[in-house]
Chains A and B, each alone.
Chain A
């Protein structure tokens, strides 16, 4: 689908979102989106416009074991260069954890030694997924520029940061200079209002928009989220919105920060936090009501291949997978427990759970959620990217079908190119695990 041209929205489309949410006093007359404000400040300018290319100072750069030291180390050596500021680098070993063979052992060793030798203190080996750990540690500050060598680096936008995913050579430039050139994106604003419908989660919000605009519907754009339904979500759930911004093709996804967010970083970032001007210019504004939502699934093939879970009812599955940065946070595991408590996974279905971090796993153990999941017949996997990235345990064979709380289901994503993956919320995945077929969770929650 084509990306519409930038235009000034009509009066009835924009009703001063910032003022309504009560987040900050709007500064009238600048007409800037959150992305424009952050990129202007990071490039030392008063104002930037979509399409301009600007050089920006990076506040935090994140790499993981697949995209990071094993590639960056030789590149830095070839150039005879050093890291511009090791205190602004995060390294998370999360793809090949724990190592399954000698190649993976070697990647872990190279990663570990790179962090040690180059003075990177923010080094986290097998502690959780690279998009979750920096949030748990309070590394991401509102209004800052975050660059990550992984496509789901848009996740950090949940803190109100401009979080942009890049490839590893691009990251080399950041490591050497501390800067990156960025084209200022146009912005699509997505607003959700009203109480979230029963049986629905943030995943259903994302899938709804994906079904509407497609997996290329926001290519090169910023997605700016707003509306009372977004701010009513717990932090774990907000992560799903920004994490899956990339699934719309977006460059970044930002939720302007509220008190909940400032609380996570002990009040830091109040001076840098950015909010959209009431007269900000959007490529478009999408409005949805959270109380009109129904549980959704993405049918196999692409994340924008969206249907109501009820429409896919009865589709047989071999595996139900709770995992990834998107779908294995604490509230995800708790949502699954809500469905499977007192129930058993359907015979013949593999029910796999790979928590998004060790902290998530510990909390689930302490609260009893983990006992509920195991009691229902779930298999607990190590924390890490795992089968979502086609790695580790739980990859699929030809013709096998899986429903997954992860973020991407292109052919070959979770194993064999002829495997089929449905995407759904943790509630939907849990309900499907119990019945052995794709199931609207409201059937079991009633």
Chain B
């Protein structure tokens, strides 16, 4: 799987309270997504394009277990999140939502608007604008399977269908 897209870059410790604050939790997933990252960058939802790659600093997704933080980014069209490392609940939520997440130590070198190409199997992030290649951790096969299926629920559906 190769993901190619434009980088939208934020800093360290982007929290779930910034991605989707509590006041939007009562909304549906789709409604909540229209407010994604509003507290950090009110322009995000208007400028994000399908296939964009979100690049964060360390500890991306820190805070709450609210899955809307991951689903909002997916619904907005984000194809993957790239960060030096993630808060663990967000990391797992993202995978369950079919949102690819890549731990990439060199993520901070990526600049806003850079064209990126992620080779999921090889575990590399190429910054085509800068002409650099960064290493990311490879996701194990069973995690890749979940992401490729579109998340845990479609994956479970497929598995249940196969056994019935």
Chain B positions within 8 Å of A324 at CB level: none
Contact with B along A71-86 (1 / 0, CB 8 A): 1000100111100000
Given A96-B26, A215-B13, A169-B67 contact (CB < 8 Å): yes
**Which chain A residues lie closer than 8 Å to B27 at the CB level?**
103
Name the one of B15, B65, B85 contacting A150, with C-beta atoms under 8 angstroms: B65
Q: Is B34 an interface residue when CB atoms closer than 8 A count as contact?
A: no
B62 pairs with A410, CB closer than 8 A: yes
Cα–Cα, bound, A167→B23 (Å) = 18
Q: A167-B70, A417-B39 are in contact. Are A173 and B89 (CB under 8 A)?
A: no
For the complex, is B88 an interface residue (Cβ under 8 Å from A)? yes
B69 to chain A, nearest CB (A): 9
- Whether B21 lies near A168 (C-beta < 8 A) is no
**B-side contacts of A284, CB under 8 Å:** none
| A residues near B58, Cβ cutoff 8 Å | 216
State the CA gap A67–B89 with chains docked (Å).
14
The 3 closest A-B pairs by CB, nearest first: A390-B22, A417-B39, A167-B93
A contact residues, total (Cβ < 8 Å): 44
Query: Would you call A413 an interface residue if the criterion is a C-beta within 8 Å of the partner chain's C-beta atoms?
Result: yes
What are 9 of the A-B contact pairs (CB < 8 Å)? A67-B66, A103-B26, A169-B93, A172-B156, A249-B88, A391-B23, A410-B62, A412-B17, A413-B15
Cross-chain contact B88 with A417 (CB below 8 angstroms): no
Which residues in A have their C-beta under 8 angstroms from that of B136?
none
Answer whether residue B5 sits at the interface, using C-beta atoms and an 8 A cutoff.
no
Flag whether A395 is at the interface (Cβ < 8 A). yes
CB distance from B47 to the nearest CB of A (A): 18
CB distance from B108 to the nearest CB of A (A): 13
The complex places the Cα of A81 from the Cα of B161 at a distance, in Å, of 12
Contact of B152 among A151, A172, A412 (CB under 8 A): A172
Task: Please name all residues of chain B whose beta carbon is closer than 8 Å to the beta carbon of A54 when the two chains form the complex.
Answer: none
Scan residues 164-178 of chain A and give those whose CB is less than 8 A from a CB of chain B. 165-170, 172-173, 176
CB of B62 within 8 A of CB of A391, answer: no
Residue of B nearest to A390 (CB): B22
A203 at interface, CB cutoff 8 A:
no
Decide yes or no whether A43 CB sits under 8 A from chain B.
no
Q: Report the contact-size class of chain B (Cβ under 8 Å from the partner).
A: 35 or more
Nearest-Cβ distance from residue B85 to partner chain A, whole angstroms: 6
Which of A66, A67, A173 interacts with B156 by CB under 8 Å?
A173
Interface string of B34-67 (1 = CB under 8 A from A): 0000111000000000000000001100111111
Alpha-carbon distance between A216 and B152 when the two chains are bound, in angstroms: 26
Residues of B within 8 A of A188 (CB): none
By a beta-carbon cutoff of 8 Å, the part of chain A in contact with chain B is 66-67, 71, 75, 78-81, 95-96, 103-104, 107, 149-151, 153, 165-170, 172-173, 176, 215-216, 219-220, 249, 251, 302, 389-391, 395, 408, 410-413, 415, 417
CB of B13 within 8 A of CB of A216, answer yes
Residues of A within 8 A of B96 (CB): 167, 169-170
Distance in angstroms between the alpha carbons of A191 and B152 in the assembled complex? 39
Indicate with 1 or 0, residue by residue over B61-96, a CB within 8 angstroms of chain A CB atoms: 011111100100000000000000101110011001
In the bound complex, residues from chain B placing their C-beta under 8 Å from that of A151 are: 63-65, 89
Residues from chain B with a CB closer than 8 A to the CB of A66 are 25-26, 66
A390 to B13, CA, bound (A): 19
B83 → A minimal CB distance (Å): 11
Q: A151-B65, A166-B65, A168-B67 are in contact. Are A391 and B152 (CB under 8 A)?
A: no
- Interface pair A390/B17, CB less than 8 Å apart: yes
Report how far A149 CA is from B96 CA in the complex, Å: 14
Nearest Cβ on chain A to B20's Cβ, whole angstroms: 9
Flag if B63 contacts A408 (CB, 8 Å): yes
Cα separation A391 to B153 with both chains bound (whole Å): 29
* Interchain CB contact under 8 A, A216 and B59: yes
A104 to B16, CA, bound (A): 21
Neighbouring A residues of B38 by C-beta, 8 Å = 417
Complex: how many Å from CA A149 to CA B58?
24
A219→B12 CA distance, assembly (Å):
14
CA distance A413 to B21 in the complex (A): 6
- Whole-angstrom distance from the CB of A217 to the nearest CB of chain B? 10
